[in-house]
Structure 1
């Protein structure tokens, strides 16, 4: 029996996909993003997490199905949900069999059979850390080879995409960087939405509690207003890029 390590469950999520959603945060992530606000999800197993079978998790999800309506569903996030690929495959298949809309919120850095996972995925929320190899390495501490492999598979399978990108002062901000992002997005298809997310410091206290140094100490949060125009610009011409 495949078991999953679940960090937490949000019963009524409103920002992780369309409609009202149950959001399952799976444990484990290989990336070490400088702005990560959930370092408690990095370890692939942690004693305080829930260890569940796909059947047990489905029972929990089904409790909230009446609230999903025609637009909602379930979103698997993390950490990096693709690290628990066998478990994810099984629970995605069960959700689809139960008539539930499925979404994965991912940076595309996992393991296993991506085609099988994506064949049961209705929507990808894909987190672009950086669109250049050097920038990706600087932010995450990892190569971008794996996320490129995942994205290529998703593009070949025509999985709908919501793109997310965190705008960090000094790392991923400024007109030059965002123009480069715009050019990169023009090379992709099946994009339904682009969300530039302002860098925030809400997770800094977790680093202190875990006796870890926060990599972006003294970098101030970024306001939504500073990237509002770029959000409009990047979403303006999506229609021609969906197919």
Structure 2
């Protein structure tokens, strides 16, 4: 059995590797209890990952391999810290009164939170008992795993839709787009609040037809409160190098201000609230 360790504060930009070498592969986890899990770190003052001031818990494990990922050290459970759900909830409880007063809450990000479904289920349930607003950042690829009980403890879904073109989606993520679109439609049918997030990468996702495809898909969904265009950056490139991974976008520049403006305009022209 892995050794339980201390939950680490820090930043999504910290490099953490090889902390739990005996962890299962991220596609082989079979935990049904969720008493323990693997985490990268947590932040306590984010204004980026949902409304208000938020605690953001970064859990380990992801099945996508995005070419522009800035946190490849969250792909594998073995790179995370093995912690108990009680640890997580005790630490969250320390911040809960201030977070509530500031109109914030808890966001679980990653990695992909649904890799560790039982673990994140317990954390969301505990956060709701504290009266906190809850949000999940997810690609939606594993959305079929989330039952109604799981989703009922989540107030907001930050849904990454990385492309509308199936070939582009597979090229930049290594996976199929269909599960994400299916999950988005399910969230719309249940009127679950969503912020769609789109990472804008020059030469990868920026083609006008690709953007238009996402815009046309999202615009009719009344539950989508915002489409957030996230410009690609190189802040995670050092992780790829440190981990010995081939980084194909090493020479890709962040999108220009004009390109960002064009893409936001495409979403707005389709009828989306975009920023």
Cα gap change, 1:42 to 1:165, in 2 (>3 Å): same
Out of 244, 250, 253, which is 1:217 matched to? 250
Deviations 1:70-92 (A, max 9, x none): 52000000000111101111111
**TM-score (normalised: structure 2):** 0.80
Please tell me the root mean square deviation across aligned C-alpha atoms, in Å: 2.0
What CA distance in whole angstroms lies between the structure 2 residues aligned with 1:151 and 1:114?
Answer: 14
**What is aligned with 1:180?**
213
Tell me, what secondary structure is at the counterpart of 2:140? coil
Q: CA deviation at 1:11?
A: 1.0
Out of 191, 208, 226, which is 2:259 matched to? 226
Cα gap change, 1:232 to 1:21, in 2 (>3 Å): farther
Q: Check the 8 A contact 1:86/1:112 in 2, yes or no.
A: no
**What is aligned with 1:71?**
103
Runs (5+) with no aligned partner, structure 1: none
What CA distance in whole angstroms lies between the structure 2 residues aligned with 1:143 and 1:176?
Answer: 18
**TM-score (normalised: structure 1):** 0.89
**What is aligned with 2:167?**
134
Q: Check the 8 A contact 1:155/1:188 in 2, yes or no.
A: yes
**What is aligned with 1:166?**
199
Out of 90, 100, 104, which is 2:122 matched to? 90
Tell me, what secondary structure is at the counterpart of 2:78? coil
Runs (5+) with no aligned partner, structure 2: 1-32
Tell me, what secondary structure is at the counterpart of 2:51? coil
Q: CA deviation at 1:179?
A: 2.4
Q: CA deviation at 1:138?
A: 1.3
**What is aligned with 1:62?**
93
Q: Check the 8 A contact 2:218/2:272 in 1, yes or no.
A: no
Q: Check the 8 A contact 2:61/2:76 in 1, yes or no.
A: yes
